[in-house]
């Protein structure tokens, strides 16, 4: 299965216009994440989920109550296409977005995307992005749920303490190598330990694929 994992990085959208196509609950969730990142969000959809209605009513987003027009791509740096089940539209949008040189993410359609939207675990300053390159997005969601149980309030405080320690060390220890050694010493003993529990359907499938040569020869 061919999939382009791309070049992982984060995008600073603070103060930049971002276009969201679609008005359902998932579009509302993505819009909220964009607002938290400081983006200027434009939502294009004939109808809106109640959460998006509240955002539009409070002027947190600009709402254009109609279907997409090519002019909507002007000046935006990123487009989130939340319209499902219309491959012709997604293909056309993909071509137009390339012409306008803006990034595009189409839900459940990595072949019509120039960016991926990972599942994100957020805990204080920590951000862990989980992506399967669009191959198995449901797995990313399951991993996010489990990782959110690992990174709790104490971990957020721990990261904050490390940040304060780093700032203090930069102000008092001029030598870079000495600073790095001190900060690594502060992390001595830290380990992220875990075990993967695979679903039974996969274990059964793997068992079929790993039949020993002797058994196969007797069949």
pLDDT per residue, tens digit, the chain (219 aa), is 455 677 888 899 999 999 999 999 999 999 999 999 999 999 999 999 999 999 999 999 999 999 999 999 999 999 999 999 899 999 999 999 999 999 999 998 989 999 988 888 999 999 999 988 878 888 999 999 999 999 999 999 999 999 999 999 999 999 999 999 999 999 999 999 988 999 999 999 999 887 655 554 454
Q: Identify whether the C-beta of residue 23 lies closer than 8 Å to the C-beta of residue 144.
A: no
DSSP three-state, residue 179: helix
The domain locations on the chain are: 17-117, 121-186
DSSP three-state, residue 130: strand
Name the pairing type of β-strands 126-130 and 119-123. antiparallel
Q: Which residue has the tokens 């803006």?
A: 102
Residue 137, token pair as written in the block: 């997005």
Q: Identify whether the C-beta of residue 73 lies closer than 8 Å to the C-beta of residue 18.
A: no
Q: Give me the CATH code for the 17-117 domain, please.
A: 3.40.50.720
- The torsion angles phi and psi of 13, rounded to 5 degrees, stand at -105, 5
Position 108 scores a pLDDT of: 85
């Amino acid at each position: 299965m061919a999939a382009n994992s791309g070049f992982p990085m984060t995008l600073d959208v603070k103060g930049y216009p971002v276009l969201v196509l679609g008005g359902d609950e998932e579009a509302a969730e993505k819009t909220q994440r964009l607002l938290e990142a400081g983006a200027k969000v434009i939502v294009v959809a004939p109808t809106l989920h109640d959460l998006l209605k509240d955002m539009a009513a409070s002027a947190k987003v600009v709402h254009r109550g109609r279907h997409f027009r090519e002019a909507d791509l002007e000046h935006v740096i990123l487009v989130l296409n939340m319209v499902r089940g219309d491959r012709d539209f997604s293909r056309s949008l993909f071509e137009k977005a390339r012409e306008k040189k803006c990034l595009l993410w189409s839900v459940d359609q990595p072949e019509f995307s120039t960016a991926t939207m990972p599942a994100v675990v957020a805990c204080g300053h920590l951000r862990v992005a989980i992506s399967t390159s669009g191959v198995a997005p449901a797995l990313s969601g399951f991993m996010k749920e489990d990782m959110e149980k690992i990174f709790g309030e104490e971990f957020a405080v721990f990261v904050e303490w490390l940040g304060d320690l780093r700032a203090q060390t930069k102000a008092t220890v001029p030598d870079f190598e000495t600073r790095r050694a001190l900060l690594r010493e502060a992390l001595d003993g830290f380990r992220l330990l875990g075990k993967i529990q695979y679903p039974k359907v996969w274990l059964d499938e793997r068992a079929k694929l790993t039949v020993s040569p002797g058994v196969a020869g007797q069949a």
